[in-house]
């Protein structure tokens, strides 16, 4: 029988996530020798090494990866248990862990500000990352809710639309197409584009609309952030296709121009997602309902 302590699992969980004992020690408010001792005791109890060192980096062993799978679930169960007990005590508090894709961060703070005004005692932890990282957080059950612009394909994830996400074509204000009242889609065939990375929701939508018109877009550069695309477009390196939510400031200050291209904007949607079998806390349920019922009116009123 394994004789593991919750403290050992907690230390292992942080160390396995960070793959750095020094960072784990700081996050746990422990000394590095204390972290190493807890890991050593855990390895002795299990009878297998959990970490291996290659050069200056540490990696999880096969046993470590297995334990990490269970330790994540145990940590999540303990967090949910604490939430249930707090709710039973009638405490006016709670915690919400929210993961959003980079583009959604242009409007998420505004929604969170309104939500937190109504629920000032809810502690919100916000993670902003690319789509792959957000999907991993959902898969790891390390987030309550996720906001993304493309529904996950995983069958164990529930996703609901709460806001329209119009994609538009942008150009430098000095670009010849910016002077036209309307741009034919065929005119885009000779233009150079700066695009988000392959696999992103924006890139997928862009590829679909060009394929529908039997045009191969000339993509000169892939970029992982909207900010990089906006800077490159502003510098005259090409056109871009981005969410209207991400360029409002640039349009107001006339640093970028939105082209009136036929068949645009491409109207997509923002989704709030969570693991289907996850027991959402009162805080998470309240924020999900807030998004579904009020997000559109709040963003449209800006």
Taking 50 as the threshold, does the pLDDT of residue 143 lie above it? yes
Where residue 90 falls among pLDDT bands split at 50, 70, 90?
A: very low
Q: What percent of the chain has pLDDT over 90?
A: 55
Whether 38 and 7 have beta carbons less than 8 Å apart is answered as: yes
Average per-residue pLDDT for the chain: 89
Q: Which residues contact 38 (CB under 8 A, 6 or more apart)?
A: 7, 8, 11, 12
Q: What is the mean pLDDT of residues 281-291?
A: 89
- Taking only the tens place, the pLDDT of each residue in 58-67 is 999 999 999 9
The secondary structure element, H or E, covering residue 169 is: strand 157-171
Taking 90 as the threshold, does the pLDDT of residue 250 lie above it? yes
Taking 50 as the threshold, does the pLDDT of residue 177 lie above it? yes
Q: At what angle do helices 21-28 and 6-18 cross, to 10 degrees?
A: 130
Q: What is the mean pLDDT of residues 27-50?
A: 90
Query: Regarding predicted confidence, which is higher, 102 or 199?
Result: 102
Query: Regarding predicted confidence, which is higher, 154 or 225?
Result: 225
Q: What is the mean pLDDT of residues 122-149?
A: 90
Q: Domains plus CATH for the chain?
A: 6-76 (1.10.10.10), 78-163+269-300 (3.40.190.10), 164-268 (3.40.190.10)
Q: What is the mean pLDDT of residues 281-287?
A: 87
pLDDT, position 301: 67
pLDDT, position 94: 77
Q: Which residue has the tokens 């707090």?
A: 86
Distances (CA, A) of 64 to 20, 49, 54, 70, 224: 14, 7, 15, 10, 31
């Amino acid at each position: 029988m394994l004789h593991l302590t919750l403290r050992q699992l907690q230390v292992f969980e942080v160390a396995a996530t960070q793959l750095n004992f020094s960072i784990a020690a700081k996050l746990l408010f422990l000394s590095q020798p204390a972290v190493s001792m807890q890991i050593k005791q855990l390895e002795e109890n299990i009878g297998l090494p959990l970490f291996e060192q290659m050069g200056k980096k540490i990696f999880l062993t096969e046993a470590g990866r297995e334990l990490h799978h269970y330790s994540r679930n145990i940590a999540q169960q303990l967090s949910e248990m604490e939430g249930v007990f707090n709710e039973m005590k009638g405490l006016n508090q709670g915690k919400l862990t929210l993961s959003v894709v980079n583009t959604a961060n242009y409007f998420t703070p505004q929604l969170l500000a309104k939500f937190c005004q109504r629920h000032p005692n809810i502690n919100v932890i916000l993670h902003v990352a690319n789509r792959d990282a957000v999907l991993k957080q959902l898969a790891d059950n390390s987030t309550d809710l996720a906001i993304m612009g493309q529904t996950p394909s995983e069958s164990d994830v529930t996703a609901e639309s709460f806001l329209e996400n119009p994609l538009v074509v942008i150009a430098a204000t000095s670009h010849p197409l910016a002077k036209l009242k309307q741009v034919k889609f065929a005119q885009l065939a000779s233009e150079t584009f700066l695009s988000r990375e392959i696999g992103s929701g924006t890139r997928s939508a862009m590829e679909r609309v060009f394929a529908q018109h039997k045009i191969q877009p000339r993509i000169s550069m892939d970029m992982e952030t909207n900010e990089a695309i906006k800077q490159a477009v502003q510098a005259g390196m090409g056109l871009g296709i981005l969410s209207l939510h991400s360029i409002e400031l640039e349009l107001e200050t006339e640093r970028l121009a939105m082209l009136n291209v036929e068949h645009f904007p491409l109207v997509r949607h923002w989704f709030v997602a969570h693991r289907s079998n996850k027991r959402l806390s009162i805080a998470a349920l309240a924020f999900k309902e807030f998004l579904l019922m009020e997000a559109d009116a709040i963003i449209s009123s800006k």
